[in-house]
Chain A
Amino acid sequence: MWAIELPPFVPFFVAAALALVTRGQLRNVIMLAAPVLGGLHLLAVPEGIHLQMSFLDYELTPYRVDKLSLIFGFAFHIAAFIAILYALHIKDTVQQLAGILYAGSALGAVFAGDLLTLFVFWELLALSSVFLIWARRSTRSFFAGIRYLIVQVLSGVVLLVGILFHASETGSLAFAEIGIGSLAGWLILFAFGVKCAFPFLHNWLTDAYPEATPTGTVFLSAFTTKVAVYALARSYPGTELLIYVGAAMACFPIFFAVIENDLRRVLAYSLINQVGFMVVGIGIGTALSINGAVSHAFNDIIFKGLLFMSMGAVLHMTGRINGSDLGGLYKTMPRTTILCIVGAASISAFPLFSGFVSKSMVMSAAIEEGYGWIWLMLLFASAGVFHHAGIKIPYFAFFAHDSGIRVSDPPLNMQLAMFIAAVLCVTIGVNPSILYALLPYDTGYSPYDATHVLAQTQLLFFSALAFVWLNRRGLYPPELRSTNLDVDWVYRRLVPTALQRLFARLNVITELNKTLAAKLSTLSPLVARQFSAEGIFASTHPVGAMVKTVTVLLALYLVLSFV
């Protein structure tokens, strides 16, 4: 194999540079070639450290390959290929470059062997992805992008501070297990948590992803959170706190997702919910649960991508994405409908679809380790996923009441991308050993035993029954044009309003000053003049003032030396 020391992000960055100077078909070929060639190259790369250099006083390892990074590497190559194919019809240089750089940065982060390299790609992820949001070129997306960028860069700064502390405590920059035993550990966990959309830190995701372009969201859904999941799996496996955080992540978005009208925002909430399963898996920390978390990340990249692609196709063809505006599209978009249902079945973990073979691993691990309550919460979350992502998405977009919109299936490249993703979902679901071979641990786990299949089918069946019953009785939350309050209300409404009030108060003080000044000038014009612009207190004599400062400082030094 040639050029083993070539890190996987290089082909992507090179392709981005080439894409900048090419146009049309040639550019398309170059962009598609990057993930294909990079992926094939990765297949032949053996495990180990392939690149090392010294920087400051540390040994940096920008390219380290082991089982954990490999599986994410493969997933990212597949996701990049699908997303690039899906976006092939776009003639927007900014978007195309941002997408490919973003994918490259994610690969750089996953194969980083030291924290400093991780930090660099961490920030590159933020900087490249924000253009996918801004590329929609609307005021809304611009401000959503700014908010997104602030949060992401902040996460990077916290990460850097954590790394600094970590380096000065341990003298090592290795990107390995860190744990929460020190302040550095907490800081780094916080930084990872922001990117991973922990509860209360998650708003950047639901805020920004639905504002991105139809193709941009497909990129976004694949990389940022999964890099964070990888980082957690690398540095915090078996941290019990993560179990509870993950369980909360799996449950709370369900309520928001059920009442949300913007279908891409529904998917953004369900993205957090799926990441919750992975975080629980990492928190449990056994071989089985880590395997579950990692394989679920792999599958989620594909089926969540598929769902975002189908909704992107709807948005692209109709220009609308609110559930209340859509419906009845199955008549003219049959292929998109079917592909969307495959994605929905996968995310709901139907047997024979990919979600089933990975999600059950996390749940089994929870039971094995005696986390009964957590298991119940995950069960509830599974039922919820089926509700909002498995039924709601296809139902309101393609069926429900007929909106009268008649559009055809999307361009061929979009269909092809969705088709590839759907094939992968089914293939992995039917033959999970392909995926299991890539996993970091060998557990000999088999998802297709009677209990699992039966329990899951029952769950799905009753969940579907509940949906039908609620819908029949008119109890199901209707699709309304509304704004749902989430935690971001605190920093987008509460704090600004409070500050405004505060400044209004300050204004009162200014007013008071003005009246005082007026009083003063009527009392004694002479004194008042000294405070005005020409008065002795306010005028500037830079040279004279400087000399005075020098004298004062010298006197200070002298006094200090003799005391």
Chain B
Amino acid sequence: MLAHLPVLHVIIPMMAAPACLILRRRDLVWFVALAATLMSFAVSIGLLLQVLESGPISYEFGGWEAPWGIEYRIDLLNAPLLLLVSGISAVALFAARKSIEAEIPKDRHALFYIAWLLCMAGLLGILATGDAFNVFVFLEISSLSAYTLIALGKNRKALWASYQYLIAGTIGATFILIGIGLMYMMTGTLNMADLSERLPEVSSSRTVFTAFAFFIVGVCLKLALFPLHVWLPNAYAYAPSVVTAFLAATATKVAVYILIRFKYGIFGFDFAFSSLPLQSIFLTLGLAGIFVASIAAIFQDNLKKLLAYSSVAQIGYLIVGLGLANETGLMATLLHMLNHGLMKGALFLALAAIVYRLGEAKLSEMHGLASRMPWTMAAFLIGGLSLIGVPLTVGFVSKWYLVTAALEHDWWPVAGLILLGSVVSVIYVWKVVEVVYFKAANERTAEVREAPLSILAPTWVLVAANLYFGINTELTVGITRMAAVSIFGGL
């Protein structure tokens, strides 16, 4: 059993999904989905402990040896992300039962959980696999189920948003596939470790350059790097609230993981940064994304859209970290992937609680909501502070390392812009605080009650994580530092 751990966390939800299709009963399906997710979570914990103890784990599918068969590889880079994805999924599923009651027709609940399980299985698969083509397969599994989940949204615009995402996602996936195909053409292998050995021999060929270009653009589309982010705000805004919480906290992070894995693990640092001006491209687009998206967020009235734009801005920070191209920068990106997952998860779950009571996410309808829903809004406030990067929250930790990384290069303007980006985020967080805390309640909000415990409890679990990992940084900083060192040490 223990030997099969590296696949179990993918297999369990994948098998649970068809089982749910047979069960069909709403509550039963919810229970099975939650149980499967929790098992995946437990497996992820086991894997992380094992990796920390004895180094990377390699698992060969069906006993076929690596370059020929499919290999699963768990190391310090993906183990914490496995934990993030399965953990957020479990927490969000807790809240889902109540939250979707108000947003999705009852007869579709079973389908909702099935799509959820498949999406999670896909995301976990992308993280775990050591095979380039397998990445594409799992990417399609997670994307297709994500389109379904988004299309389940109450507003009719959800269909359109889902369609938009479908077009964008398909183009992205196709580009990724073209990239992988070209690599296969040049090397004859799909195993990542094998690819990284064989690619340098042919690295001067135009085919490899083209492969790289296609791949990077495809992934950037998936991870919604400015200016390829257009699909994201609508998809997040019209999807059911818990789906937004799940996807916002995990999906883009997984795409960033693909980028890091291929950039550092397969193409290699030298190729990625010396053959292409990737450093300046990433820095420019990342910084532009931080400001354009943050400023766009200020002007949103729909709170979901506001947070969605802030997600685009946060992706900018991740990409800036990669663009800095040093160990601390990579570490800051890895840290911020985890931390941003925690803060956006908390914020969107708090928002799900608001939508459950209020029926919508319009800021102009939330006057004085804090007096009606004190716990929900307190959670939102702490999440917002974390987003800004206030000390004692996780947001501070990753921003600190990001600025440190910029200062290591002596790039003061970059450091200054990162801090200025935080100031802009103060504005949109304050905008919310002002309305919900300082405005008098109107007729609509006056009759709202505090959210049910089944949504509030998961929200506060994530809020607590925001605070805990903001104060006790040993675990997160330790693991990401080791991961960054191992990647840079392996060059």
Tell me the bound Cα distance from A90 to B277 in angstroms: 65
Q: Is the CB of B168 within 8 A of A546?
A: yes
Cross-chain contact of B276 among A54, A120, A164, A557 (Cβ < 8 A): A557
Kindly provide the distance from the CB of B175 to the nearest chain A CB, expressed in whole angstroms. 7
Binary contact track A180-208/B, C-beta < 8 Å → 1, others 0 = 00000000000000000000000000000
Q: Which residues of A contact B452 (CB under 8 A)?
A: none
Interface-lining segment among A241-249, A334-342, A547-555: A547-555
Q: Is the CB of A545 within 8 A of B230?
A: yes
Q: Is the CB of A550 within 8 A of B221?
A: yes
In the complex, B216 has a CB within 8 A of chain A: yes
Q: Which residues of B contact A455 (CB under 8 A)?
A: none
Tell me the bound Cα distance from A252 to B403 in angstroms: 40
Tell me the bound Cα distance from A553 to B213 in angstroms: 9
In the complex, A441 has a CB within 8 A of chain B: no
Q: Is the CB of B391 within 8 A of A553?
A: no
Cross-chain contact of A542 among B164, B213, B214, B392 (Cβ < 8 A): B164
Q: Is the CB of B213 within 8 A of A558?
A: yes
Q: Is the CB of A546 within 8 A of B231?
A: yes
Q: Is the CB of A542 within 8 A of B209?
A: no
Given contacts A165-B407, A547-B171, A550-B171, contact A558 B210 (CB under 8 A): yes
In the complex, B297 has a CB within 8 A of chain A: no
In the complex, B18 has a CB within 8 A of chain A: no
Q: Which residues of A contact B209 (CB under 8 A)?
A: 558, 561-562
Q: Which residues of B contact A161 (CB under 8 A)?
A: 419
Q: Which residues of B contact A546 (CB under 8 A)?
A: 164, 167-168, 228, 230-231
Given contacts A157-B423, A542-B164, A542-B230, contact A56 B400 (CB under 8 A): yes
Q: Which residues of A contact B397 (CB under 8 A)?
A: 56
Q: Which residues of A contact B217 (CB under 8 A)?
A: 550, 553-554, 557
Q: Which residues of B contact A547 (CB under 8 A)?
A: 167, 171
Tell me the bound Cα distance from A554 to B276 in angstroms: 13
Q: Which residues of A contact B221 (CB under 8 A)?
A: 550
In the complex, A119 has a CB within 8 A of chain B: yes
Q: Which residues of B contact A251 (CB under 8 A)?
A: none
Q: Is the CB of B474 within 8 A of A119?
A: no
Kindly provide the distance from the CB of B331 to the nearest chain A CB, expressed in whole angstroms. 11
Q: Is the CB of B227 within 8 A of A164?
A: no
Tell me the bound Cα distance from A185 to B391 in angstroms: 21
Q: Is the CB of A116 within 8 A of B164?
A: no
In the complex, B187 has a CB within 8 A of chain A: no
Q: Which residues of B contact A553 (CB under 8 A)?
A: 217, 220, 227-228
Kindly provide the distance from the CB of A423 to the nearest chain B CB, expressed in whole angstroms. 40
Q: Is the CB of B213 within 8 A of A164?
A: no
Q: Is the CB of A554 within 8 A of B167?
A: no
Q: Is the CB of A554 within 8 A of B168?
A: no
Total number of residue pairs linking A and B with CB closer than 8 Å: 80
Q: Which residues of A contact B156 (CB under 8 A)?
A: none
In the complex, A560 has a CB within 8 A of chain B: yes
In the complex, A26 has a CB within 8 A of chain B: no
Given contacts A550-B217, A554-B175, contact A54 B474 (CB under 8 A): yes
Q: Is the CB of A543 within 8 A of B167?
A: yes
Q: Which residue of the partner chain B has the closest CB to A167?
A: B404
Binary contact track A118-130/B, C-beta < 8 Å → 1, others 0 = 0110010000000
Tell me the bound Cα distance from A376 to B210 in angstroms: 78
Tell me the bound Cα distance from A57 to B403 in angstroms: 14
Kindly provide the distance from the CB of B426 to the nearest chain A CB, expressed in whole angstroms. 9
A511-552 interface with B by 8 A CB criterion = 542-543, 545-547, 549-550
Kindly provide the distance from the CB of A524 to the nearest chain B CB, expressed in whole angstroms. 32
In the complex, B138 has a CB within 8 A of chain A: no
In the complex, B106 has a CB within 8 A of chain A: no
Q: Which residue of the partner chain B has the closest CB to A119?
A: B391
Kindly provide the distance from the CB of B234 to the nearest chain A CB, expressed in whole angstroms. 8
Cross-chain contact of A561 among B171, B213, B391, B400 (Cβ < 8 A): B213
Kindly provide the distance from the CB of A51 to the nearest chain B CB, expressed in whole angstroms. 14
Tell me the bound Cα distance from A554 to B171 in angstroms: 12
Binary contact track B217-238/A, C-beta < 8 Å → 1, others 0 = 1001100000110110010000
Q: Which residues of A contact B442 (CB under 8 A)?
A: none
Q: Is the CB of A543 within 8 A of B168?
A: yes
Kindly provide the distance from the CB of B83 to the nearest chain A CB, expressed in whole angstroms. 21
In the complex, A2 has a CB within 8 A of chain B: no
Tell me the bound Cα distance from A157 to B421 in angstroms: 13
Determine which residue in B227, B397, B400 has the highest number of CB atoms from chain A within 10 A of its CB, and name it. Answer: B400
Tell me the bound Cα distance from A201 to B471 in angstroms: 33
Kindly provide the distance from the CB of A504 to the nearest chain B CB, expressed in whole angstroms. 24
In the complex, A168 has a CB within 8 A of chain B: yes
In the complex, B4 has a CB within 8 A of chain A: no
Cross-chain contact of B392 among A56, A120, A164, A543 (Cβ < 8 A): A120
Q: Is the CB of A120 within 8 A of B210?
A: no
Kindly provide the distance from the CB of B486 to the nearest chain A CB, expressed in whole angstroms. 18
In the complex, B155 has a CB within 8 A of chain A: no
Tell me the bound Cα distance from A545 to B390 in angstroms: 37
In the complex, A55 has a CB within 8 A of chain B: yes
Given contacts A164-B404, A547-B171, contact A561 B228 (CB under 8 A): no
In the complex, B477 has a CB within 8 A of chain A: yes
Q: Is the CB of B477 within 8 A of A56?
A: yes
B391-429 interface with A by 8 A CB criterion = 391-392, 397, 400-401, 403-404, 407-408, 415, 419, 423
Binary contact track A272-283/B, C-beta < 8 Å → 1, others 0 = 000000000000
Tell me the bound Cα distance from A161 to B277 in angstroms: 30
Tell me the bound Cα distance from A167 to B415 in angstroms: 14
Q: Which residues of B contact A550 (CB under 8 A)?
A: 171, 175, 217, 221, 228
Q: Which residue of the partner chain A has the closest CB to B477?
A: A56
Tell me the bound Cα distance from A260 to B164 in angstroms: 65
Kindly provide the distance from the CB of B218 to the nearest chain A CB, expressed in whole angstroms. 9
In the complex, B364 has a CB within 8 A of chain A: no
Tell me the bound Cα distance from A561 to B271 in angstroms: 11
Interface residue ranges, A against B (CB under 8 Å): 54-57, 116, 119-120, 123, 157, 161, 164-165, 167-168, 542-543, 545-547, 549-550, 553-554, 557-558, 560-562
A-B contact pairs, 11 of them (CB 8 A): A56-B401, A116-B391, A120-B392, A168-B404, A542-B164, A542-B230, A543-B167, A543-B168, A545-B230, A560-B281, A561-B212
Those 8 A-B pairs whose CB atoms lie nearest each other, nearest first? A557-B213, A561-B209, A168-B407, A554-B217, A546-B230, A558-B213, A542-B230, A120-B391
**A164-B415, A553-B220 known; 9 other A-B pairs, CB under 8 Å?**
A56-B397, A57-B477, A123-B391, A546-B230, A547-B167, A547-B171, A549-B227, A550-B171, A550-B221
